[in-house]
Amino acid sequence: MEKINAETIAGIALVLVALIFMFAATMNKVWAIILPADYLILALGFAFIALGVYTTRNNNRKHSHEKSTHHH
């Protein structure tokens, strides 16, 4: 089973923040001025999610080949 790591959580948070900021840009002219920054935040969020998925898969692949020598 795959776990959610900190990179994935940070990415999800950044995507949600960017979506909220984009919604705010439709309501307020000041937010509309900084709309390009919102797209950057959105891209960073997706990059963090991708990094989290990549590191989780790498960690799972490394641990699946190791054999446990102790029993509980």
Q: What is the pLDDT of residue 22?
A: 94
Q: What is the pLDDT of residue 1?
A: 55
Domain boundaries, the chain: 6-59
Mean of pLDDT values over 26-39? 91
Say what the alpha-carbon torsion angle 55, 13, 25, 27 is, to the nearest 10 degrees: 150
The CA–CA distances, whole Å, from 16 to 4, 21, 53 equal: 17, 9, 18
Instruction: Name residues whose C-beta falls within 8 Å of residue 23's C-beta, 6 or more positions apart in sequence.
Output: none
Look-up: residue for tokens 């190791």?
66
The string of pLDDT tens digits covering residues 40-72 is 999 999 999 999 999 988 877 776 655 555 555
